[in-house]
Structures are given as C-alpha cells and as structure tokens.
Amino acid sequence: MQPTLQNVKAEFKEFEVKYLLDDHFDAEHFFTTLRALGSPVEKHLDVTDTYFTFAERPDFIYRHRHDAEIQQLTVKSYGGDTRNRVEVNLALENPASQKEAIRTFLRSFGEPGEFGIHKRVDIFDFPDCEIVHYLARSGSRTARCVEFEAVGVDTWEQAQAVIECYARATGFDRKARCEIALFDLLHG
C-alpha cells in the first residue's frame, strides 16, 4: 500500500494562486501598488530549487530550496489543483548547501530524477498573504510569475477570500490564473 497525505492539518497545506506574466508586465508599478496596500516586509533574493521525483511516486515531488535566508527540504503533492495542495517544509539549520546530503538521503527511496530551477524573487509579506514576483530559469526555459499565497488560514474558502482581495487590489483577474505548476512550466 502506498502512503498518502490525505486530510492533513492546514499548517501542511499550501493555498496559492499563480499568474504567468508576459514581457510587458510592469514590475515596478506592481511593487508600488503592493507598498501602498500597507507595510509589507519586503525581500529580494536569489533562490536555487532542486526538484527530485520518483517514478514510483508520481503524486509527490521533493524540493531542496537554498537561498541567503533559508534552506528547506519540502514534499509537495503533485498533480491536481495547484491552488490547494499538501506542502510540508523541513527547515535545515546548516547554512551551507545540503543538496548532496539530500540527494543521498532521497536515494533511500529509490533513484530520483533531478531538475534544477534558479529564481530571482521579490517577496512582499503581509500578515495574511505572501506575494511573490519571480523570474525562474531552467536551461533555456524561463517563466515570470506572480504568486499569492494565503497564510494563517485553515480552509481553501478562507484562503480564496484573502487571495482574491490582494489579487483584485493589484489588478489580477482570477480567470487569468495559471493552473500549471512551475515545475511543469519549466520541465514539462
């Protein structure tokens, strides 16, 4: 029997909506609009994500994330609705990259596929929403996106209200959201 992650606590859920941007998107105007909404904590980081997949477990994806502030090992549910999925993050304390240790650790599950993404991210943290603008690259592929992630909520309905408020205030239409995971945009 394969293990599942059904009925997990809200703290292990990711409630997020992504918008794929074109080359004409005015990031500075977007940032100014966000700043006018309040006093978000603002960060600008370079992030390296390495994704690991297992053919035997196509319903999960594993990610090692490393940047100047954090290092994490994450398991995410994969496939289905990208707005509401399982996401369990484990913080790694050592500031040096643990990618080799993670690769070796994950080999205990089988031989993983591996795929890297580099992102330049602009993060605006509000008390109830994390808003991220980024340019992601992998090989010759790029994707520029904005993501709205509700934080501190227990249900998709609560998250939807938070996300819709910020998306509308910054000019995004829920009908234009991207339903494709970043992994698939750059790897698929």
Question: Does the pLDDT value for residue 140 go beyond 60?
Answer: yes
What is the pTM assigned to this prediction? 0.86
The whole-angstrom separation of Cα 155 and Cα 119 is 29
- Over residues 171-187, the pLDDT tens digits come to 999 889 999 999 999 98
Is the pLDDT at 6 greater than 80? The verdict is no
Encode pLDDT of 31-61 as tens digits: 999 999 998 999 999 999 999 999 998 999 9
Q: Is the pLDDT of residue 11 over 80?
A: no
What span, in angstroms and rounded, lies between the C-alpha atoms of 48 and 149?
Answer: 20
* Whole-number pLDDT of residue 3: 47
Rounded to whole angstroms, the Cα distance separating 151 from 149 reads: 6
Residues near 90 by Cβ (< 8 Å), separated by ≥ 6? 72, 73, 74
Domain spans of the chain?
A: 10-187
pLDDT band at 82 (very low <50, low <70, confident <90, very high): confident
The CATH architecture that domain 10-187 belongs to is Beta Barrel (2.40)
Interatomic CA distance for residues 95 and 107, integer angstroms? 22
User: Is the model more confident about 86 or about 13?
Assistant: 86
Spatial neighbors of 99 by CB under 8 A, at least 6 apart, are 50, 64, 66
Per-residue pLDDT band for 2 (boundaries 50, 70, 90) equals: very low
